[in-house]
Chains A and B, each alone.
Chain A
């Protein structure tokens, strides 16, 4: 079974803090994704990566950056957290581009005060 793990289930941070969310997949997948999920808005793509050190912006990249130094690990960084970044953050991976099956982690619920 594909396993995607996220470093934290719940996080509480203060406005202006730098926040790191980590994601690890154990199936040698090429692609990794970061989404945020908000009520009524569904999942929105923040960034994705199709290879080590490669990244592409999604629909809502503003205020976020990412890092992929190893194939299995994809980090989402909130450079200066703001209250409007309070959300559920979901990481996903897929074997390669063109295959649509994305496997999701359990999510990190982030609260920014």
Chain B
């Protein structure tokens, strides 16, 4: 069983809709949670970063962490065609060095 599970999609939504993405994990030691966005033929870029539980908002993006359920989410409001990309979750244990564990990524397609 993978430490981080993520539905690969594709997830297709109309422009303006809310995109809801999530990852589940099994390692209760994870404390740092990240979302990366990867456009086709490009490297991933950091989108959101959260420590421990709670919500974080940045413009149209909201990241949520529920450590009790071992579940993290990313919401994209008012989705745009430019949001079409693969979204990868990543997480890390709380010690000084802990490598990132990535989900497989969810492909999102926002149709005009």
Contact = CB atoms under 8 A, between A and B. Distances in A.
A107 B38 CA distance: 11
Interface residues of B, number: 24
Nearest to A4: B43
Contacts of B8: 40
Contact of A98 (B4, B97, B102, B103): B97
A102 B46 CA distance: 8
B96 A98 contact: yes
B49 A101 contact: yes
B42 interface: yes
Contacts of A58: 99
Nearest to A107: B43
A101 B36 CA distance: 10
Interface of B: 4, 6, 8, 32, 34, 36, 41-46, 49, 88, 90, 92, 96-97, 99-100, 102-105
Given A40-B8, A107-B43, 9 more contacts: A4-B43, A42-B102, A90-B44, A98-B97, A100-B32, A100-B92, A104-B36, A106-B42, A106-B43
